[in-house]
A = this chain, B = another copy of it.
Amino acid sequence: KKEFAVIGLGRFGGSICRELSKEGMEVLAIDLDEDKVNEYKEIAAHAVIADSTDENVLKELGVRNIDHVIVAIGDNIQASILTALMLKELGIKTITVKAQNDYHEKVLNKIGADHVVHPERDMGKRIAHNIISNNILDYIELSDDHSVVEVKAGSKMGGKTLVDLDIRAHYGCNVVAIKRDRDVIVSPLATEEIEQSDVLIVIGADKDISRFEKNLV
């Protein structure tokens, strides 16, 4: 059974800790801050007050037996880098580390971090795209120029079927699912009639999505 450790119980680390625990995973939660550790005593399998830059502490905690450690220390870049370095030297198979900026990421890559994440930066991009395009409720990059977007159907599309609108032929986009009230219709049929309050999940090249959205939404 896979074991995890989360070092740093801020908003990001704390959320990972909660979500892994909610999915039944065994999590060791570690932080310098006593209040934060107490908050996680009821959530994680184990919650310990410790300084992750102390190698002896990491060894004592049996961190060596853990399959995947997440380092979610924020402002203290030094502590984040030192912790990541020691974890790899202790032989931890996989570490995911939160990076503060590009310089931080470069160093983490050089010292062997398996995954480097930029939660605020990436959510900022996503929200920027949602903001630019009012009708786009969510936007996820598939590649540099393709995305998955959630679009409110609106009055132009309400009452029409997918084959009427022929979105794929006209815009090269694919409506892969429709969210209607609390349901999700995956791979809707061509005969599906769109309702004004529907949310369409659309995949396509960014410029095609943009064109689709300008004309039909």
Q: Show the binding face of A for B, using Cβ within 8 Å.
A: 4, 10-16, 18-20, 23, 25, 68, 70, 96, 100-101, 117-125, 127-129, 131-132, 138, 140, 142-144, 146, 148, 168, 172-174, 176-177, 179, 182-184, 186-187, 201, 203-205
Copies assembled: 2
> Would you list 7 pairs from A and B whose C-beta atoms are within 8 A, ordered by A residue?
A11-B100, A15-B122, A138-B140, A140-B140, A174-B177, A174-B186, A176-B187
CB neighbours of A173 from chain B (8 A): 186
With the chains together, A123 CA to B203 CA distance in Å? 21
Taking a contact as CB atoms under 8 Å apart, the answer to whether B19 and A124 are in contact is yes
Taking a contact as CB atoms under 8 Å apart, the answer to whether A128 and B182 are in contact is no
Residue from B70, B132, B176 within 8 A of A20 (CB atoms): B132
CB distance from A18 to the nearest CB of B (A): 8
Residue from B20, B121, B140, B177 within 8 A of A11 (CB atoms): B121
CB distance from A148 to the nearest CB of B (A): 6
Residue from B14, B148, B174 within 8 A of A140 (CB atoms): B148
Taking a contact as CB atoms under 8 Å apart, the answer to whether A184 and B146 are in contact is yes
Taking a contact as CB atoms under 8 Å apart, the answer to whether B119 and A184 are in contact is no
